[in-house]
A = this chain, B = another copy of it.
Amino acid sequence: MRNGNSTESGVNPNVSVDCVIFGFDGEKLKVLLIDRGQIIEDEDEKSYALPGNLIHNDENLDEAAGRVLNELTGLHDIYLEQFGSFGDPNRLTKEEDSLWLKSIRAQPDARVITVAYYSLIRADQFELHASSFAKEAFWHDIEALPNLGFDHREIIDSALKELKFKSKYQPLGFELLPEKFTLGQLQKLYEAILNTELDKRNFRRKILKMSFLVPLKEKQIGVPHKPARYFTFDKEKYQNYKSNDFYFTL
């Protein structure tokens, strides 16, 4: 039998959480998907979705999001930010989704409203371990996404919009770049998020206004081009900047 909710008590049949975990690997933006292990006729076809599940009645929404993400993907202690709830009455009624729910839920026909969370982490610094109903947890390029269950494509689009918006007004990168990095690496991060090429000169002019960017004396060595200077983040200034809702404009 699948390890689902069918036999669990204390599960709220009407409310779930879903997690959009974006991952940056130094080059590209990815999103964390699970193979929900659906038995479908064409065995080559897989059934993908965001990590998500019903909430328990004794946990709050943030706790539910952390637990569900951990149960399905092995990730833990990830900062998750709530960005929206999705409640179209028909969001679960596609045939494939409906069959899957019947295999896993005690009340497969219940209407479920989902509260969605997102995060942005290094794609290559966390180990993934799929369990529960997830057969696999893996990173997928944000472009050319496969067919996804439920309204998960819409949820990813919405999270991406939020991430782009936030990246324009709040600093990011501290957790996503090595201890010392070049402005070229920082630009790559912004380009991956905004999905657009940025003008190098403009980018540098604006980004260097951020007082938490500290130039180091050290430069790259052994590179075939003119060596670039390394920078680092002043952690204290960076945290102040973030928590005070200061902003800059790109």
Contact = CB atoms under 8 A, between A and B. Distances in A.
**Main DSSP-derived SS at the A contact region:** mixed
Contact of A247 (B59, B64, B82, B169): B169
A12 interface: yes
A57 B245 contact: no
A148 interface: no
A126 interface: no
Interface stretch (A28-36, A85-93, A95-103, A211-219): A85-93
Interface residues of A, number: 27
A84 B58 CA distance: 20
B247 A111 contact: no
A7 interface: no
Q: Choose among A61, A165, A168 the residue with the greatest number of B CB atoms under 10 Å from its CB.
A: A61
Nearest to A64: B87
Query: How many copies of this chain does the complex contain?
Result: 2
A15 B15 CA distance: 8
A88 B88 CA distance: 23
Interface in A233-250: 245, 247, 249
B115 A87 contact: yes
A132 interface: no
A75 B208 CA distance: 48
Contacts of A196: none
A60 B87 contact: yes
Contact of A14 (B15, B61, B82, B168): B15
A169 B165 CA distance: 10
A13 B115 CA distance: 17
A89 B15 contact: no
Interface string A1-14: 00000000000111
Contact of A85 (B13, B58, B115, B168): B115
A15 B113 contact: yes
Contacts of A115: 85, 87, 113
A55 interface: yes
Contacts of A14: 12-15
7 contacts: A15-B113, A57-B89, A60-B87, A64-B87, A82-B85, A113-B113, A169-B247
Given A12-B14, A13-B14, 4 more contacts: A55-B113, A85-B85, A165-B245, A169-B247
